[in-house]
Amino acid sequence: MMNMKKCHYCGKEIHDFSSFCPYCMKSQIEKCTTIQKSRSNKKMIIIAAALILFAVSVIVISSVVKFGSKNKTDVINTSIATTSDSSEATDNTIDYKSYIGTWYSKDISNSADIYQTGGGSEVRIFSIDDKTAEIMVSTIQSAPTLRTATTDRIYGYIEGNIINFTFQNDSWGSSGYGTLTLLDDTIYSDIVYTNKDSNAMWFLDGSDLFYKVHSDREELLNGNIEGYIGEYSDISPYLGEETEKYYIQDIDNAEIHTYGELILSIYNFGTEIHVAEVDYNNAADKSKYNFQGKVNGESKYIDGNSTYEDVISAYGQPEYEYEEIGEKRIYYYFNHDSMRWYVEFGFNQESQVIRIICSSDTTN
């Protein structure tokens, strides 16, 4: 027997599955549709509320993360940078060239003091940019033993204000790795040994704070070529941008640094400049560099505007005179810091000075 139901409007009995009443012809699904719409509207309201709540949550979380990151970066930038965030923040503000020079673990004024104050550690930065740095790290035992552990001249890679490096030999057969952190006016070192030779009698310090050595280099500011002979790491901060660096592998194993018309040579894998040369041929300013050394008791000013007659008048007859590649060359000996040095002058066909070479006598 078929199930029956009553019409919602006229009360007549109709089939249970009828969608309208055949007596009053009214739809029997209107109420159901209304209920369905109501349910649909309610569902839409719930979904909309959920979306609004999600959006608000995202905004709040983003604000917290942003604020927290900002605070974190601020803290890192005032201390030793150890994350990529701090590295990016410091890359644009670090004056890398200002770190070129000699740094000691004691706040002293010149290299001789390190031996007179009970030993210590030393960092030398020969060159540096935002990618690589050429460095050397040493630790010296106090007198009278003065044992020294030192790396070779090695290259490290830069991450923000940190120089990362490895060393294969500390001159005692031990090896390891380390970092140099460039701070405002100091450098912090952290060195870890991965292999210590059992026969080693000295090692590099594990960690130290280094201060820069400030030496008197006023003669460099005046362009006096004589002043460019010495420790390269002490001199290079005053030279500006290096235009070229190359090596000549011959009997002297020369390492050449050029700064425009100024050419500096280091021999036999050392750290001291033995030859300073000025080539005036293409120099825009022929008075930028000069020679003022004391020769035969006389101290005269000679630069690229001087002539052969000026030099002879100033210093008298040279020790030696010869021709080289179309240039007339003459040189003199003179004393500097209790050492015998020599200066060589080159002249063109018009007898104009086109080259001055100043060197310690040890290069002969």
300, part of any domain: yes
348, part of any domain: yes
CB 203, CB 191: distance < 8 Å: no
26, part of any domain: yes
Task: Read off the tokens for 99.
Answer: 């770190």
Domain identity same for 140 and 276: no
Domain identity same for 282 and 336: yes
CB within 8 Å of 303: residues ≥ 6 apart: 286, 287, 288, 289, 290, 291, 353, 356
Cα separation, 274 vs 358, in Å, equals: 8
The reported pLDDT for the residue numbered 32 is 39
* Degrees to nearest 5, angle at CA 33 with 27 and 38: 150
Cα separation, 101 vs 212, in Å, equals: 7
* Degrees to nearest 5, angle at CA 353 with 310 and 316: 35
The closest alpha carbon to 232, from 161, 116, 135, 318, belongs to: 135
13, part of any domain: yes
Domain identity same for 161 and 181: yes
The reported pLDDT for the residue numbered 110 is 56
81, part of any domain: no
The reported pLDDT for the residue numbered 215 is 57
The reported pLDDT for the residue numbered 353 is 96
88, part of any domain: no
Domain identity same for 30 and 157: no
Domain identity same for 201 and 240: no
Give the CATH number of the domain where residue 208 resides: 2.40.128
Find out whether the peptide bond into 22 is cis, omega within 30 degrees of 0: no
Give residue 42's domain range.
Answer: 4-64
Q: What H or E segment, with its residue span, contains residue 182?
A: strand 175-182
CB within 8 Å of 43: residues ≥ 6 apart: none
User: pLDDT tens digits for the chain (364 residues)?
Assistant: 456 778 878 888 776 666 667 677 677 665 434 334 444 555 566 666 667 766 666 565 555 444 444 443 343 344 444 444 444 444 568 889 888 878 888 766 555 566 556 788 989 888 888 999 999 999 988 878 888 999 988 999 999 999 999 999 999 999 999 999 999 889 999 999 999 999 999 999 999 999 887 655 555 667 888 888 888 877 777 777 788 888 887 767 888 999 999 999 988 777 888 899 999 998 889 998 999 888 877 788 999 999 999 999 999 999 989 998 889 999 898 876 667 788 999 999 999 999 999 987 654 4
Cα separation, 234 vs 1, in Å, equals: 113
Q: What H or E segment, with its residue span, contains residue 232?
A: helix 232-235
82, part of any domain: no
The reported pLDDT for the residue numbered 69 is 42
Structural domain ending residue among the three candidates 169, 189, 212: 212
Structural domain total, the chain: 3
Domain identity same for 251 and 356: yes
Structural domain ending residue among the three candidates 195, 212, 229: 212
Domain identity same for 336 and 251: yes
Domain identity same for 118 and 143: yes
Structural domain ending residue among the three candidates 46, 64, 82: 64
Domain identity same for 226 and 348: yes
Residues constituting the chain: 364
Domain identity same for 307 and 226: yes
The reported pLDDT for the residue numbered 107 is 67
Domain identity same for 254 and 299: yes
What sign does the CA torsion over 143, 105, 133, 127 have?
Answer: negative
Task: Read off the tokens for 290.
Answer: 């000069």
CB within 8 Å of 117: residues ≥ 6 apart: 106, 108
74, part of any domain: no
Cα 286 to Cα 226, 236, 302, 303, 320: the distances in Å are 17, 21, 10, 7, 25
Domain identity same for 195 and 306: no
